[in-house]
Structure 1
Amino acid sequence: MRSSHAASAVSAVFDDSNLIAHAGLLPVMRLAERCGLSDLVAEKVKLTGTTNGAGAAADAKVSSIVAGMAAGADSIDDLDVLRHGAIPMLFGGIRAPSTLGTFLRAFTHGHALQLHAVHRGFLAALAAHTPLLPGSGEKAFIDVDSTHKRVYGRAKQGAEYGRFKGIRTLHPLLATICTPHSRPVIATVRMRRGKAADSRGAPKFVSEALATAVEAGCTGTRILRADSQFYNAGVISACRRAGAHFSITCGMNPSIKRAVLSIPDQAWQPITYPTAVPDPATGELISDAEVAEIPAYTAFASRTKAERVTARLIVRRVRDLAKPAVVGEQGELFPVWRYHPFFTDQPAATLQAEREHRHHAVIEQVIADSKASALAHLPSGHFHANAAWLTLWAMTYNLLRAAGALTSPFHTKATTATLRSHLVQVPARITRSARRITLHLPHNWPWQHTWTHLFSTAHGPAG
């Protein structure tokens, strides 16, 4: 492709007040309105005692931040993207970035919890109004994981040297919900200081995530999946109180090591992965492994009788490529294996349970998605402002996933960046006639039918 005009024959002027760069915000924010976002904020978020009117019109401020994040904002200053061209003709109550920054800095821990309640109610409404979690009445997976987000500046509250030497981070914790037929959505999030242990507050967090899953329509089998940092009696107890199953990776402590080494050779079943997966220790791609099960393994045996748990210990073993097999004159004497156990009480057969547990890695895609969008920065020096920003990102993420679920099978599984570029960042020119507004969109837009379907659904009769 090349320019069709000489450089001297082209000029540019920012002077058209009838243009907008993000026409897709109209159906997306209409969907948010139909799911009661503003009403939830007005009901639950009460920023009392704030100065300079920071707590006034919280519903309009939350909607402005969510719309800005949907358009691609990853900092408070970027929220100014909502005040260009004809956007004020389509939306009322847009707030300036300085006002939104003051609003976020007014948050306390209690206000952050109020915003979590909004997030839970909003997810439940999105799941009720859109096919966000198909098959949730039969089986749903709740995945829990933490991540470290690098931050800069010593004045940023909660930023500490944690897991990574010489790097200051904040330490978000998140839980997602998915089904065998859907992409994950975010159940709940928590912002924590950089040095917080991975499992700090995990039992309470898991209880909230499982309760949120029920509110979102996950009334069938629920399985909590987590890595080894969440292998503790409190997390498993929270699952059992909620009537959910668990599937948690566990390290090779002495008790588990003795149990694994006692498995007879004939008990191992071969398994082949449809696509190669990286070995967590070496990074080598593997497509074949062997799986065995100990049907009744008692975990936490050193604790009180009430805290002990007896369930299945499923072990996957792969050849240890970092250690060559011992070879004698007649060939290989014995192979060297790496073992990857997990503790579970879910009812699936051994090989299916292993495949489903390995799918826990889907939460890493959500974490990567977050760092490529609104969590590219944690924009404030105030800890609770960043906590609110994290929750608002989760609400925006779920809103865009719901919009994608209303369009096409491709967009149901697309990343946030793809949803934004196909459905939100669509330029348009506005005309008005007979008290009606018409959006004139680009001719031959590749996803025009998908966009039109989203627009018609969001503006159609309420279901």
Structure 2
Amino acid sequence: GLGAGPTATLVVDLDSTICEVHGYAKQGAAYGYTKVRGYHPLLATRADTGEVLHARLRKGSANTARGVVRFVDELLARLERGGAGEAIIVRADSGFFQHKLLDRLSRAGVGFSVTIHQRAPVRTAIDAIPERAWQRIDYPDGDAHVAECLYRGRRLIVRRVPGHHSTQGQLFATWRYHAFVTNLAGSAWALDRSHRAHAVVELSIRDLKAGPLAHLPSGSFNANSAWLQCAVLAHNLIRWTAALGHAGTDQLIVAKTWRHRLFAIPGRLVNRSGTPTLRLPARWPWTHQFTTALDALRALPPVPG
């Protein structure tokens, strides 16, 4: 199937987003930390395909981490039922940092990398890292270094980049720090690069909010929850069709592009000797992807039962 196989590492990104709504007859809609009135759903996406693995609608006033441990429990149960292997990695930003979540992932044997709030104890740990421990890395915005230390028994990996007001040749450089905790093995620079890739979750969120989640139409919270699940299903159908067409996952493409390439393709259904035949334009640039996806879809085994 399209899910992760038993030998594949499944990387899951956790995130949340504010879905703005208008009108006052909306159960659960409220102002949250963004000062926007709406709902605040939780999402878990698969990093290499962009498909949504789990979603739950929440009230607009819910803070980022509210209900995340139960959400992860539901997610892991779904992945187990879907045949995912034991190699699972969960990535998240600082809004989800809480020891209860990390402990739950550790007990389940799940790898994690979660951005940490840089409160005073964390900054003290970072300041104690010796200068010789910092390793230069390739970074899109220029000069950057990574190092690591232990923080409350957990592996803390830190990336530093020049501060906004740093100037070349100044006596004492100023740095901005980005830190995350992890239970994964590997070099600090490789794990930092992997953790930065968590940003890919924003592409799925953008797709959803540019489509069905542009609004949540009902006054009923339960109806809007169902709307969210339908939106997720539509999003996933696009991603699965792209995967069936061997579109490649090295660079995720927005849903609007797939709708243009695969779903808006002009064609004509003709009857040849009693056999329905789909005729496609010879010069459509993505005809091969479409026919590959169609053949793969037809070849899928039937669903048992």
Question: What TM-score, normalized to structure 1?
Answer: 0.61
Distance in structure 2 (CA, Å) of the matches to 1:459 and 1:339: 51
Amino acid across the alignment from 2:151 = Y
SS at match of 1:259: helix
Give distance in 2, aligned partners of 1:214 and 1:396: 23
State how far apart, in whole Å, the 1-side matches of 2:202 and 2:300 are.
37
CA contact (8 A) 1:139 1:222 kept: yes
1:216 offset after TM fit, Å?
3.8
Write the letter of the residue equivalent to 2:257. T
Displacement of 1:229 after TM fit? 1.3
Matches within 5 A, 1:28-43: none
1:193 matches 2:59: yes
Q: Residues 412-446 of structure 1, C-alpha deviation per residue, up to 9 Å, x if partnerless? A: 83321122111112344444566543334445322
For 1:404, give the aligned amino acid: A
Match among 144, 151, 154 for residue 297 of structure 1? 151
Report the residue type matching 1:315 in the other structure: V
Counterpart-to-counterpart distance in 2, 1:402 and 1:183: 8
Q: Distance between the aligned counterparts of 2:161 and 2:79, measured in 1? A: 34
Q: 1:348 to 1:138 in 2, by over 3 A?
A: farther
Distance in 2 between residues matched to 1:211 and 1:461, nearest whole Å: 25
Counterparts of 1:72-111 in structure 2 under 5 Å? none
Alignment partners' CA distance in 2, 1:150 and 1:340: 29
CA positional deviation for 1:360: 0.8
1:367 to 186, 205, 215: 205
How far apart, CA to CA, are the structure 1 residues paired with 2:285 and 2:8?
36
Give the number of aligned pairs.
301
The CA distance in 2 between the partners of 1:251 and 1:448, in whole Å, is 48
Separation in structure 2 between the aligned mates of residue 452 and residue 254 of structure 1, nearest angstrom:
57
CA displacement 1:212-236 (0-9 Å, x = unmatched): 3344443142221111111112211
Q: 1:375 to 1:461 in 2, by over 3 A?
A: closer
Partner residue, 1:445: 284
CA distance in 1, matches of 2:57, 2:276: 42
| Residue 218 of structure 1: aligned partner | 84
8 Å CA contact 2:247–2:289 kept in 1: the answer is no
**For residues 452 and 169 of structure 1, do their structure 2 counterparts lie closer, same or farther at Cα, with a shift above 3 Å needed?**
same
How large is the RMSD of aligned CA atoms in angstroms?
A: 2.3
Which of the numbers 118, 132, 146 marks the counterpart of 1:252?
118
The structure 2 residue matched to 1:389, chosen from 217, 227, 230, is: 227
Distance 1:461 1:240, change over 3 A: closer
Greater share of residues in helix: 1
Question: Partner residue of 1:357?
Answer: 195
Verify the 8 A CA contact 1:150 1:168 in the aligned structure 2.
yes
CA contact (8 A) 2:143 2:162 kept: no
Q: Which amino acid aligns with 1:334?
A: F
Equivalent residue letter for 2:43: L
Match for 2:52: what amino acid?
Answer: I
Give 1:381 deviation, angstroms: 2.0
SS at match of 2:124: helix
Amino acid at match of 1:392: C
Structure 2 partner of 1:137:
7
Greater C-alpha Rg: 1
CA distance in 1, matches of 2:170, 2:286: 57
SS in 1 for 2:28: coil
Instruction: Give the one of 12, 31, 44 matched to 1:175.
Output: 44
Instruction: Report what 2:236 is aligned to.
Output: 398
Question: Which ranges of structure 2 fall in alignment gaps of 5 or more residues?
Answer: none
Higher relative contact order (CA 8 A, sep 6+): 1
Match of 2:160 in 1: 317
Deviation at 1:136, TM superposition (A): 6.6
Matched, 1:454 2:293: yes
TM-score between the two structures when normalised by the length of structure 2:
0.90
Give the distance between the partners of 2:148 and 2:46, measured in 1 at CA.
27
Deviations along 1:87-116, one digit per CA (max 9) or x if unpaired, are: xxxxxxxxxxxxxxxxxxxxxxxxxxxxxx
Residues 140, 222 of structure 1: 8 Å contact kept = yes
Shift of 1:163: 2.0
Structure 1 residues 455 and 223, CA gap change in structure 2 (3 angstroms): closer
Q: Of residues 18, 24, 27 in structure 2, which corresponds to 1:154?
A: 24
Provide runs of 4+ in structure 1 moved above 6 Å: none
Partner SS, residue 333 of structure 1? coil
Moved more, 261-270 or 373-382: 373-382
What 5-or-longer segments of structure 1 have no aligned partner? 1-127, 277-285, 299-309
Task: Report the counterpart of residue 421 of structure 1 in structure 2.
Answer: 260
